[in-house]
Amino acid sequence: MAATVFDSAIFRDSFATPAMRQIFSERATVARYVEVEVALARVEGRLGIIPSEAADAIQRRASAQDIDLEQLRQATNVVGYPIVGLVAQLAKQCGDAGRYLHWGATTQDIMDTAAVLQIQAALALIDDDLAALDRSLAHLASTHRATVMAGRTHLQHALPITFGYKAAVWLSALLRHRRRLQEIRPRVLVGQFAGAAGTLASLGDKGLSVHDALMAELGLGSSAMPWHVGRDCVAETVSLLALITGSLAKIATDVMLMMQTEVAEAFEPFAEGRGSSSTMPQKRNPIACELIIAAAGIVRQHAGLMFAAMAADHERATGPWHLEWLAVPEAFLAAGAALSHARAMLEGLGVEPERMRRNLDLTGGLIVAEAVMMALAEYTGRQDAHHIVAHASRAALAKGTPLLVELEADPNVSKHLSAARLRELTDPMHYLGSALAMIDRLLAERAGSG
């Protein structure tokens, strides 16, 4: 009985990828719990804290696949947490050795460490998607380095840019996110083993030895202090997902606006029936963009939820921890979906250079009025130049003539700037500033960091 878009038979592929869903599936979560319990028994047997024979038996007999989820649900409803019921089932599987399960641990140790193992796997998927987007955007930036188009501010024509410049702006954010992901791994991929109140008191003077051995066994980092109630790193992880999807939403917003009928400068890849309307046969809606923006909103809200979960009381939270059980999996599912949609969109993005040029010329050269003003200012001063070019611009708008015509007809301009110079100044390709150099610099930095 699916109740959300994440597990819906209808919507689930729009809001989660199969690979990410598998990482956070119920069976996979239980398997991580069992993995941690078995690893704990293994290291405690090696350290002589529990009998090695018991550790070996637990290693052989503990089976996540044989856990009865209905029975576990019933136990969780009674206890409030799943680990007591899980250990009870594992103990039956392991016979006499079962009494040595969960030795010195507390429920949150198992659940937190299992969650970190899931986060580790999920971040690997995120990293792969970012790398693929990196390649797609670098290709767009390079291929369209000199594809001139209108830059827009406040949704109005501003100055000429190139589509490669726009793609490089998108790319620059994703490169920063790739660095952020690498930087958080040592902080986030740290397991938890600290016992009832975080002091490992039940293991005497061997607690830290077990802690360190367990983390080494699981391939996770060790923490000097328990983080039962120090949830900043989990919150940081979801915050990174919010940053990533926020940047994807910016890309989606740009593409969505460029797909407008009146603009038509770029399009999501065509597929028969994709983005169609139930009533209007001509429609080609920006479906990938819409799903990316929606997913980014979901992740953003879960990032806020994670900040609420940081307000944990004393040495074990009374409620805030539970918020993570919802926020972490759903944030990763939505982020994975956004990345998947972005990959498909950008890998097959349709770019229309001719339409970009036609839109650029819509105002008859007004988009480079600043270029003329700056050239004229060398002779008249900036304020007078601004007044002269503004007057010519208003005349061009009123008459529907190109700006060049009005400039050539104005003696205040022609006495300083020749016709050839004016033609050069009113060519948008000659007023790109450092845009091309910026693209080259970013691509060089990218190559150097790879």
What is the pLDDT at residue 81?
Answer: 95
Last residue of a domain, one of 105, 125, 144: 105
> CB count, 10 Å around CB of 414?
14
What is the pLDDT at residue 328?
Answer: 97
Both tokens of 217, joined, read 């066994």
| 32 within domain boundaries | yes
Domain that holds residue 414: 366-425
* 149 to 68, 355, 407, 424: CA distances (angstroms): 61, 9, 23, 17
Beta strands in 257-321 (DSSP E): 266-267
Total-model pTM? 0.94
Q: What ranges in 148-231 are assigned the alpha helix state H?
A: 163-188, 207-218
| 83 within domain boundaries | yes
Q: Which amino acid is at 99?
A: R
Q: Which amino acid is at 278?
A: S
* 333 to 128, 295, 448: CA distances (angstroms): 15, 9, 32
Residue among 78, 7, 64, 77 nearest 33 (CA): 64
What is the pLDDT at residue 146?
Answer: 96
Pairing of strands 350-351, 156-162: unpaired
Structural domains of the chain, count: 2
Long-range contacts at 178-182 (CB < 8 A, ≥ 24 apart): 178/127, 178/130, 178/131, 178/134, 180/240, 180/243, 181/123, 181/126, 181/127, 181/130, 181/240
What is the pLDDT at residue 273?
Answer: 58
The residue count for the chain: 450
Alpha carbons 30 and 111: distance in angstroms, whole number: 9
Alpha carbons 116 and 188: distance in angstroms, whole number: 7
CB 202 within 8 A of CB 104: yes
Both tokens of 318, joined, read 């009374």
With tokens 């993570």, the residue in question is: 324
Alpha carbons 76 and 80: distance in angstroms, whole number: 5
> CB count, 10 Å around CB of 76?
16
Active-site annotation, residues = 154, 277
Q: What is the CATH number of the domain that holds 94?
A: 1.10.275.10
* 117 to 112, 127, 179, 328: CA distances (angstroms): 9, 15, 21, 13
| 315 within domain boundaries | no
Last residue of a domain, one of 105, 130, 155: 105
Alpha carbons 197 and 423: distance in angstroms, whole number: 77
Both tokens of 14, joined, read 């729009």
| 31 within domain boundaries | yes
Alpha carbons 393 and 365: distance in angstroms, whole number: 9
Residue among 100, 87, 89, 88 nearest 42 (CA): 100
Alpha carbons 122 and 339: distance in angstroms, whole number: 12
Beta-carbon-side half-sphere exposure of residue 153 (alpha carbons within 13 Å):
5
What is the pLDDT at residue 23?
Answer: 98
Alpha carbons 415 and 374: distance in angstroms, whole number: 16
Q: What is the CATH number of the domain that holds 380?
A: 1.10.40.30
Both tokens of 368, joined, read 């480079």
Query: What is the torsion angle, in degrees rounded to the nearest 10, for the CA atoms of residue 317, residue 318, residue 323 and residue 324?
Result: 30
What is the pLDDT at residue 285?
Answer: 87
DSSP-based three-state secondary structure for 273: coil
> CB count, 10 Å around CB of 26?
11
| 76 within domain boundaries | yes
> CB count, 10 Å around CB of 155?
7
Averaged pLDDT, groups of 10, the chain, 450 residues long: 86 94 97 98 98 97 97 96 97 97 97 98 98 98 97 94 98 98 97 96 96 98 96 97 98 97 92 58 80 97 96 92 96 98 96 96 92 94 94 92 92 92 92 96 90
Alpha carbons 355 and 44: distance in angstroms, whole number: 68
Instruction: State the first-to-last Cα distance of the chain, in angstroms, to the nearest integer.
Output: 46
Both tokens of 250, joined, read 């910016």
Last residue of a domain, one of 105, 130, 157: 105
CB 178 within 8 A of CB 171: no
| 41 within domain boundaries | yes
With tokens 């019921």, the residue in question is: 85
CB 61 within 8 A of CB 94: yes
| 119 within domain boundaries | no
Alpha carbons 141 and 149: distance in angstroms, whole number: 13
With tokens 């029936």, the residue in question is: 273
| 99 within domain boundaries | yes
Both tokens of 322, joined, read 């539970």
